Amino acid sequence: MKLDRINKKILSDLQNNGRLSNVELAANAGISPPPCLRRLRMLEEEGYIRGYFADLEPNMLGYEAEYFALVGLESQALDRLKAFETTVSSWPEVRECHMIRGGGDFLLRVVAMDNSHENTLTQRLTSTKDVLRVTTFPVVQTAKRLPGVPIQIAED
């Protein structure tokens, strides 16, 4: 599938507001609704669109703490890396799990109800099989958080 200006406009608009109707997407892209819907379905089928979700306010749901955890494992053997990923991926408080290079093996983004909950989660993490070290970085303030990736929409 070719990502032309129209497809990029559809992706950009959806990334900024996933609740736009097909009629609104079509108008913004300068096409009629039926071809817009066809393009949208193709973008979904091809995997450009991974899903749709609401961006929730953590504090309103009782999650007052957020932190990043840099995790080093005792071994970088593939089976141990996969086992760690499987373990922490089952924890609802772990919102992101990234295998990284340099300085550690994984970087996690974790949410917690409060400092006590954060301490409990950190202790749980440090006692997880194969974990050698954990360094946590509490989030004090977030200046920028954007979903997705930049999309350059140039004339074809």
In tens, the pLDDT along 19-75 reads: 999 999 999 999 999 999 999 999 999 999 999 999 999 999 999 999 999 999 999
Q: Which two tokens stand for residue 131?
A: 């974990």
Residue spans per domain, the chain: 5-45, 58-138
| d(C-alpha 35, C-alpha 42), whole Å | 11
CATH number of the structural domain 5-45: 1.10.10.10
CATH number of the structural domain 58-138: 3.30.70.920
- When the pLDDT of each residue in the chain is averaged and rounded to a whole number, the result is 95
Q: Are 5-45 and 58-138 equal in CATH topology? A: no
In tens, the pLDDT along 54-67 reads: 999 999 999 999 99
DSSP-derived secondary structure for 103-147 = S-SEEEEEEESSHHHHHHHHHHHHTSTTEEEEEEEE----S----
End-to-end Cα separation, the chain, in angstroms: 15
pTM check: above 0.85: yes
Strand order, beta sheet including 106-112: 94-99, 106-112, 65-73, 131-138
DSSP-derived secondary structure for 27-69 = HHHTS-HHHHHHHHHHHHHTTS---------GGGGT--EEEEE
Residue 93: its pLDDT value, please?
Answer: 98
Residues counted in the chain: 156
> Which residue in this structure is represented by tokens 């930049």?
150
In tens, the pLDDT along 72-98 reads: 999 999 999 999 999 999 999 999 999
Q: To the nearest whole percent, how much of the chain has pLDDT over 90?
A: 93
Are 147 and 15 contacting, i.e. CB atoms less than 8 angstroms apart? Answer: yes
Backbone angles phi, psi at 90, to 5 degrees: -85, -10
